[in-house]
Structure 1
Amino acid sequence: MVNIPQCLYSLQQQTQAFQHWASSTTMAGFLQMTLAFKKYLIIVLVPLLSLPLPLAVPTKEAQCGYVIIVMALFWCTEALPLAVTALFPVLLFPLMNIMDSTTVCREYLKDTNMLFIGGLLMAIAIENWHLHKRVALRVLLITGVRPALLLMGFMAVTAFLSMWISNTATTAMMVPIAQAVLEQLHKSEIESSNTAGQTSENINKAFELQEEPTKSDLSKEAEEKGNSHVLTVEEDRKRNENLIEEKHKKFCKGMSLCICYSASIGGIATLTGTTPNLVLQGQVDELFPNNGNIINFASWFSFAFPTMIVLLVLTWIWLQILYLGFNFRKNFGCTSDASAKAKEQRAYDIIKEESKKLGSMKFAEIAVLILFILLVVLWFTRDPGFIPGWATVLFNKNDTSYVTDATVAIFISILLFIIPSNFSKKDKQQTGGKSKFKAPPALLEWKVVHEKMPWNIVFLLGGGFALAKGSEESGLSSWLGTKLTPLQQIPHPAIVLLLCLLIATFTECTSNVATTTLFLPILASMAEAICLNPLYVMLPCTLSASLAFMLPVATPPNAIVFSYGQLKVIDMAKAGFILNILGVLTITLAINTWGSSLFQLQTFPSWANRTGTCP
């Protein structure tokens, strides 16, 4: 007989279970759908939720603030491509009556953008003819492959190349070279370990054969001892292999991190090395047009290059301690171990072989190298500061703004498109049984430029300049300046230290270009309000925007080395946290010592006194 109450209770339980499953499934599906469409939700919700600001406070300052808030959130979340977000001022500033469309559009292709394009064209030519790889391998042949020196060699090469070409291209080229060298070192170490193990085993077997006749009455005991000995040898071999594998993994992690960190650090040394440096130059020229071209290639290099060297050395020491240990004698290869020297020789041969594959320098490589050296010399001598530069003497003695670093960069770039890549008579084309000469291609062709030029950065730079101009025209900069006057009570070095920490933290999550674009106009207003030289806060914060060491998503070099699979997020975070601290302290030291005397930061300059409120 069926128990009806029991059946009803069971049915009720099943119904409740089904409802719970259905609700959890619905909730999971809703969360998945929300995550899938999060970019679209951000695009719709951010402008709507920020809309009360310009509606409640119908002033130009509030309207400009609304545009900045929307763009900042879009840049942070990357709901839209960074370059697309940078176009918002063209749409919103005219609609909000902040600036007319013609004035806004002029901001998108300024002198700084042309300097960026010219520098990149030179970098593309260097990369196209593999000149950077030749330089890298030559330096590694000089430094050698001893652990500490190998680390130093890769860091020095990566940092130097990153000064002139993009940090992404530098990292992408250096990582495979490092992997090949590390693989050879690991293979050699395993071979030498196996050889040593076999020798030891043969010696032990010989010893057993010699001892066997004298212990015939204890054969059972000898057999047990033999078995235990075999086990011990096997255990030792496995332990040895595990130690070698562990050591190799640690060294691989240290090498990978040294490459991506050096790529970020090297970019700060030159004005064209990384985009935030150009953002600073453009913002200073935009906000303080009478600054007398204070930020140029020579002045920037004089300040940033020593800072880069100090930070690079500290990074080398820290990574050496973290991944090679404190045995500096062993790290520098100061041992008489023949197997270690043989292992290093094999790895050295790998680098030599790669260098041989490149062959002798072709005409195109020599021409690009000469043009590169000419570009650097012209940049340094255009307006060195301590003596009149060639631009002042030859073209305009009264105004240094007529011929700028961008003029030089474009001049060399045009030569790249004019000079042929070779003058050999072997380039012939067969047509209908007849051979006719074929003109060689130029050192740089537009097809190559079109493939490798990051045009999105040009729009991103322009968007930043448009925001700065809009902040000034709307009065938002002045309003922010008045609100930040209480900072005058804080010691100036403490202000710099806190701001650098803020920027270094912020740049871990957002693009370094977006970070500098958002913060520099605010920092300029703050400095002007408290009668502080604007460069005293703008320079260190620009350098701090390149201290993206902790997360794989922080910068493309980090993502490239992380993709090789040897690193975990915790490895990068652990090494990068200390480096961020060291970087901020180094930059603070630089701005308060040689930076202060170089740019006269202890005084408030007349060109920064736009409101006339400072003495």
Structure 2
Amino acid sequence: MGKYPVRKIGFIVGILAMLIIGFMPTPASLAAVTETPVVAQRVLAVTVLMVIFWITEAMPIPFTALLPIVLFPLMGITGAKGQNDIQLFKHYAYQTCYLLVGVGFLSGSMVKHGLHKRISLGIVSKIGKKPTTLILGFILAVAFVSMWMSNTAATVMMLPVALAIATTLGEEAQGLKKAMVLAIPYAATIGGMATVIGTTTNPTGIGLIESTIGISLNFLDWLKIGLPFTIVLLPLMWIYMVKFFKVDKMPPVDISVARQQYKDLGPMSKGEKYTAIIFLACCVLWVTRSILWGKYVPFATDETVAMLGAFLVMAIPLDYKNAEYVCDWKTGFNDVPWNAVILLGGSMVMGNAFKDAGVAAWVANMLSGLAGMNAVVICIIVGIVTALLTELTTNAVVVAAFIPVLAGVGEAIGVSPFAMMIATMLSCNFAFMLPPATPPNAIAYGTGEIEMKDLVKCGLGLKLIALVVFPIMLYGVTMGIFHIGV
């Protein structure tokens, strides 16, 4: 019930803010940087409305992303001539949307045949029965699965295993119970950062980066950005949680539940084998496209590979006579993150209009006073602000709202826009403190095994660790070793 007043207030405030900004006298500073100041002003008005609606959830987040379809024509934004022709519908079909569609069918096939469960239970059951290594097993299992599918699904899948093990522990092992339950959503969030398809935030941010500053990141490029960060942060998270909950001082525990569940899976089914082969083939194609075969198929993209994988799971039969295939339409269609597809489209509409109308240049001019500050310090500030905001709203919303602005800001103050954008994309995943921050947090809190103070205290420490690590990795690895964005 607590959210409803906020939603009502957000709805009213958003509408009023849009009307005031859209129809007040045009600022002279805005007229100085664009040929169509009235259009720019109304783009700003719609942007403010959408951001307020997103943050307060005045309307469902994906539905808010569809508002430009109504508001742009009514306010004379779409079709306005000037520096650029403001486009609308083509951005809702942005190419990255089809990466999400294709991966949805692959993920649906994994879930249908239980391949994801076999991978996770296999890791947990073989990692050992020491409390410290048990926590590590959960972290590795969830993080790996979350690299390739929804972090929410990875959390939902592994929490019952953790809770089943927790029931065998006595009252003296409360710290271990809490560590197991919290390690799952945290590992799902960190693991999802490693690949383009690991979280909906990554394709949203990558699409906006390409449309605003022209830097294109393929699957391998993002792997160089996200995977090193995940590899560094996961062991730090493990050490931190073991010490925070004093797990290293506990006796061995019984993990027979996980081992029995793994044993009950039996040998791999035909569907599991086919899904594993198709998925591994897609991973190889994604990683090698830019360095091996891409030059022979120049128009192929990561979306091409994803849709090829979707085609294969829909076309390869398991039982031809009974028309049973690796994946069926209902399963694949239902596993596509349609909310993320719509949000990505709306973000692209807003981001491009923000840039094309000249609003980004106007905001950048106002922030030009930051010029001369150390680039690393500015990126850290961006990271801290993003990490705080992401506790209150979804990380995809933070990316959609921030990145279009950062393009102009970076150019105005002499700091790489790419560095600030990547800082935003990484930091928006540091949502470890509150249940609303991410669905995995909410699911873990809903088990009743952890209290709010556990989530806040443990999450704050992990957030601080991540905020220390990210500028080092950004400037030392992403831009230092791999020269991405330089």
Q: TM-score range by the shorter chain?
A: over 0.9
Q: Equivalences for 1:555-566 in 2 at 5 Å?
A: 555-566=438-449
Q: What SS does the aligned partner of 2:350 have?
A: helix
1:8-39, Cα deviation, whole Å (9 max, x unpaired): xxxxxxxxxxxxxxxxxxxxxxxx9x986663
- Return the match for 2:351 from 468, 473, 481: 468
Q: Offset at 1:57? A: 2.9
Q: Which of the pair has more CA radius of gyration?
A: 1
Contact 1:99 1:470 in 2 (8 A): no
Alignment length (residue pairs): 470
Distance across 2 between alignment mates of 1:508 and 1:442: 41
Contact 1:282 1:465 in 2 (8 A): yes
Distance across 2 between alignment mates of 1:572 and 1:489: 38
Tell me which residue corresponds to 1:536: 419
- Return the match for 2:102 from 118, 122, 132: 118
Q: Offset at 1:324? A: 2.2
- Shift of the 557–36 alpha-carbon distance from structure 1 to 2, 3 Å rule, reads closer
Q: Offset at 1:298? A: 0.5
- Return the match for 1:593 from 470, 473, 476: 476
> After the TM superposition, which of the residue ranges 529-538 and 174-183 deviates more from structure 2?
529-538
Contact 2:367 2:412 in 1 (8 A): yes
Distance across 2 between alignment mates of 1:257 and 1:571: 9
Letter in 2 for 1:174: M
Letter in 2 for 1:390: W
Tell me which residue corresponds to 1:51: 19
Tell me which residue corresponds to 1:547: 430
Say if 2:437 is the partner of 1:520.
Answer: no
Tell me which residue corresponds to 1:287: 212
Tell me which residue corresponds to 2:302: 405
Q: Equivalences for 1:91-240 in 2 at 5 Å?
A: 91-100=70-79, 103-184=87-168, 186=169
- Return the match for 2:266 from 354, 359, 365: 359
Q: Offset at 1:316? A: 0.6
Contact 1:137 1:354 in 2 (8 A): yes
Contact 2:138 2:184 in 1 (8 A): yes
Tell me which residue corresponds to 1:416: 313
- Return the match for 2:287 from 364, 368, 380: 380
- Return the match for 1:323 from 245, 253, 262: 245
Q: Offset at 1:417? A: 0.3
Tell me which residue corresponds to 2:44: 65
Contact 1:507 1:548 in 2 (8 A): yes
Distance across 2 between alignment mates of 1:164 and 1:35: 32
Letter in 1 for 2:44: G
Contact 1:99 1:473 in 2 (8 A): no
Contact 1:283 1:520 in 2 (8 A): yes
Q: Offset at 1:306? A: 1.2
TM score, norm. by length of structure 2: 0.92
Q: Offset at 1:44? A: 3.7
Tell me which residue corresponds to 2:221: 299
Distance across 2 between alignment mates of 1:109 and 1:145: 49
Distance across 2 between alignment mates of 1:421 and 1:283: 40
- Return the match for 1:277 from 196, 202, 217: 202
Q: Offset at 1:352? A: 2.1
Where does the alignment leave 5 or more consecutive residues of structure 2 unmatched? 27-37, 81-85
Q: Offset at 1:376? A: 0.4
Letter in 1 for 2:255: Y
Q: What SS does the aligned partner of 2:318 have?
A: coil
Q: Offset at 1:100? A: 3.1
Distance across 2 between alignment mates of 1:80 and 1:36: 11
Distance across 2 between alignment mates of 1:303 and 1:37: 40
Distance across 2 between alignment mates of 1:569 and 1:356: 35
Letter in 2 for 1:279: T
Distance across 2 between alignment mates of 1:57 and 1:362: 67
Q: Offset at 1:46? A: 2.4
Tell me which residue corresponds to 1:90: 69
Tell me which residue corresponds to 1:395: 297
Letter in 2 for 1:590: M
Say if 2:317 is the partner of 1:349.
Answer: no
Tell me which residue corresponds to 1:238: none
Contact 1:93 1:470 in 2 (8 A): no
Tell me which residue corresponds to 1:9: none
Distance across 2 between alignment mates of 1:118 and 1:395: 19
Where does the alignment leave 5 or more consecutive residues of structure 1 unmatched? 1-31, 187-243, 334-339, 397-401, 424-437, 604-615
Tell me which residue corresponds to 2:460: 577
Letter in 2 for 1:322: F
Distance across 2 between alignment mates of 1:576 and 1:44: 33
- Shift of the 548–321 alpha-carbon distance from structure 1 to 2, 3 Å rule, reads same
Q: Offset at 1:182? A: 2.1
Tell me which residue corresponds to 1:210: none
Letter in 1 for 2:325: A
Q: What SS does the aligned partner of 1:553 have?
A: helix
1:277-336, Cα deviation, whole Å (9 max, x unpaired): 1112101221134x3x3x1110111121111111111111111011125xx4x55x6xxx
Contact 2:127 2:137 in 1 (8 A): yes
Which consecutive segments of 4 or more residues in structure 1 shift more than 4 A?
34-38
